[in-house]
Structure 1
Amino acid sequence: MADRVSQSQFPPSRVVGRGRGWYRGDCHVHSARSNGGELTPEQLAAGAREIGLDFIAITEHNTSDTHGVWGPLAGDDLLVILGQEVTTRTGHWLALGVDPGQVVDWRYGIRDDVNDRHLDQVRQAGGLCVAAHPHAPYPSGVFMYPFHGFDVVEVWNGLWSSDLPWNADNGAALAEWGRSLAADIHGGRWRPAMGNSDTHLDGQIGIPQTVVLAEELSTDAVLAGIRAGRSWIAESTAIELSLTASAGDRSAGIGERLRTCGEPAVVRVDVRGVPSGTVSFHTDRGKVHRESLPSGGSGAVEWRTSAAESAFVRVEVRQPGGHMAALTNPVILT
């Protein structure tokens, strides 16, 4: 059946009056129009507002026919990014920021050698291409394409977890992304990590979510922040985090480069919402430092290194039980 879209009901691509800041969102959301989905767009919008998200991306399976219902549901408190989950035979990927009504072909696999052409179509529209749930536990969900063709990797997907929003499949995706990070940074083109809920059912939205530094609350600015790696992933809106590295009078944050000029670098992470959790620092040498957080729920941890010792530093925060609470993209040291 051909996609039917009401041209007058597309959501605006910018929320007026929302300037530079950290914005929370979920870029992998399905309504009942997708297989396995049970929620209406109205329920999804209400759920996003209830937990305090600033943006969501609607990513129905292989269709754009709900793009046209989101105009009245967006507003001055919620940006709706148009997208699609492209469910190919050998892996799924997210096309974020596509044109209204745009549909990306999904009827192929890795042996057809056409994936790059479809990625280019999304980028020509100003969109972002995300490798989705690389280790999803079903045949077509296992991601067989190389990451280097994509802009971002979804290392944390909430759908296939049962009691907790973190499982072994996410751990495998994080490890795979982490192993490639050092080589990619050295080569000058690294792919940031992101996390999304893959919402299909009530109560899933925003678990986890991506927190992004954007110049404004608009599709272009949010995607630019994600593309640049100026983002981190949170289990929920209850968790807050900041990560900075400084050397002398210079400092840099997540997704940025710090010119150390040969001076020692002090890396500091501030965390709220993870009482008695643990913070670990990761570089191109693997996990290099670990400390516990206080029972009160808020704490700061500092660690010292240098550009000679560490090409980058990223942070993971885990709950007392060991499952992930937050993780960051790297600060790069030069």
Structure 2
Amino acid sequence: MATGHDGTESVSEFPPTQAAGRGRAWYRGDCHVHSVYSNGGELTPEQLAAGAREAGLDFLATTEHNTSEAHSAWGSHANDLLVILGQEVTTRTGHWLALGIDPGQVIEWRYGLRDDVVDQHLNQVFQAGGLCVAAHPHAPYASGVFMYPYQRFDVVEVWNGLWASGRPWNTDNEAALAEWGRSLAADIQGGRWRPAMGNSDTHLENQIGIPHTVVLAEELSTDAILAGIRAGRSWIAESAAVELSLTVSARDRSAGIGERLKMSEEPAVVRVDVRGVPSGMVSFHTDRGKVYRESLPDHGSGSVEWHTSANESAFVRIEVRHPEGNVAALTNPVILT
């Protein structure tokens, strides 16, 4: 038996690396979550698990600040919920998420950009089969601003819920999205691009899942979810009330989010289906910037189509915004070659 941060006794065990899922499917999850094991965290793992289920999530990642102490507190709370072991690495010049690390593993955090040691700590995560995420790049405090180059990181957290001051979207997220969006064309041309993801950075009640990442995975397991995120087969939703699909088709071929569509000079049809964003605005973004937009009906459900070709667009990604401009959903790109 062990005594947890809530003062109760619990059996210490690590959560399983696979949960009962739906086979190959889209799974919703929040990969930046803090409990009472982090400074500022007010919820127990049991409360977080209940909140995740209520928010319609299939998985979450436990990412306490610079400790693995919570890893063994999740076993009895996982059940049908996949819990990925992780850590928020809070260095002096930016924070990053280590996802899918080994049980009890702790990644060093006492350094900054000028120490030139971040690569060796990223390698520790890679060796464990994990994923490295640049967290809240424009967080509004000194050490939270991300100063490392993105090149060695797998993913960029362009949407962070905590620093939105009670709102689902703010100017710091807008800056992170714009920065990531501008880099896509060069990164895709260079052969390695970093997908975007969104997380709540939960510390308090009623924050979990706002936003979260929706991942296409072969099964509900740590390896499969991380593989889907790493490949960019994912999109970001402000809540489970928002549904989205994106498909690009040319003749008898089609591709979805995070995939490549090989085509010649024939035109392609880009189709987006959205639910849960009344009077929202759907915009299409390529290497030429924002190229098309169209409004959704008042009831929030609708389909929008746009035509392009590989000669015109290296990729297509989607943003869905509420009438006041806040983002409700955004996707990783479909790449056209």
- TM-score for both structures, normalised by structure 1: 0.97
Q: Which SS does the other structure have where 1:147 is aligned?
A: coil
Partner of 2:163: helix, strand, or coil?
Answer: coil
Mapped partners of 2:21, 2:96: distance in 1: 32
1:38 matched residue in structure 2: 42
Aligned mate of 1:14, from 14, 18, 33 = 18
- 1:64 is matched with which residue: 53, 61, 68? 68
1:172 maps to 175
Which stretch shifts more, 163-172 or 105-114? 163-172
Tell me, in whole angstroms, the C-alpha distance in 1 between the residues paired with 2:286 and 2:311: 12
For the pair 1:26 / 2:30, whether they are aligned, the reply is yes
- The DSSP-based 3-state class of the residue aligned with 2:247 is strand
By how many angstroms is 1:296 displaced? 1.4
Residue 81 in structure 1 maps to residue 84 in structure 2: yes
- Where has structure 1 moved over 4 Å in runs of 4 or more? none
Match of 1:311 in 2: 314
Unaligned ranges ≥5, structure 2: 5-9
> Does residue 131 of the first structure (1) align with residue 129 of the second (2)?
no
Please name the residue that 1:182 is paired with: 185
Shift in Å, 1:8: 5.6
**What CA distance in whole angstroms lies between the structure 2 residues aligned with 1:332 and 1:262?**
15
For the residues of structure 2 that align with 1:43 and 1:189, how far apart are their CA atoms? 38
Unaligned runs of 5+ in 1: none
- AA partner of residue 64 (structure 1): S
Structure 2 residue aligned with 1:192, among 191, 195, 209? 195
Contact conserved, 2:11 with 2:76, CA < 8 A, in 1?
no
Q: How does 1:89-238 map to 2 (within 5 A)?
A: 89-238=92-241
Please tell me whether the aligned partners of residues 12 and 73 of structure 2 are also in contact (alpha carbons under 8 angstroms).
no
Give the deviation of 1:36 after TM superposition.
1.1
SS of the aligned residue for 2:313 comes to coil
2:212·2:238 contact (CA, 8 Å) conserved in 1?
yes
Q: What is the alpha-carbon root mean square deviation over aligned residues? A: 1.2
Could you tell me the percent identity over the aligned residues?
81
Structure-2 separation of matches of 1:17 and 1:97: 18
Partner of 2:7: none
Between stretches 227-236 and 35-44, larger displacement belongs to 35-44
**What do residues 140-196 of structure 1 show as CA deviations (whole Å, max 9, x unaligned)?**
000000111100000000001124210000000001111110000001100000000
The AA in structure 2 aligned to 1:48 is: A
Deviations 1:45-101 (A, max 9, x none): 0100111100000000000001001000001x2100000000000000000000000
1:282 aligns with 2:271: no
TM-score (norm 2): 0.96
| Aligned partners of 2:17 and 2:222 also within 8 Å | yes
Q: SS in structure 2 opposite 1:148?
A: coil
User: 1:11, CA displacement in angstroms?
Assistant: 0.1
Amino acid at match of 1:140: S
Report the residue type matching 1:174 in the other structure. L
Number of aligned residue pairs: give it.
329
Superposed CA deviations along residues 199-249 of structure 1, whole A, max 9, x for unmatched, are 000000000000000000000000000000000000000000000000111
What is the rounded CA distance, in whole Å, between the counterparts of 1:177 and 1:7 in structure 2? 42
Q: 1:268 aligns with which of 268, 271, 285?
A: 271
In the alignment, the residues of structure 1 paired with residue 11 and residue 117 of structure 2 have an alpha-carbon distance, to the nearest angstrom, of 30
Q: The residue matched to 2:162 in structure 1 has which SS?
A: coil
Matched residue, 1:252: 255
Deviation at 1:105, TM superposition (A): 0.1
Q: Deviation digits for residues 77-129 of structure 1, max 9, x if unmatched? A: 21000000000000000000000000000000000000011001001000000
3-state SS of 1:116 partner: helix
Shift of the 276–181 alpha-carbon distance from structure 1 to 2, 3 Å rule, reads same
**Partner amino acid for 1:195?**
G
Does 2:60 align with 1:51?
no
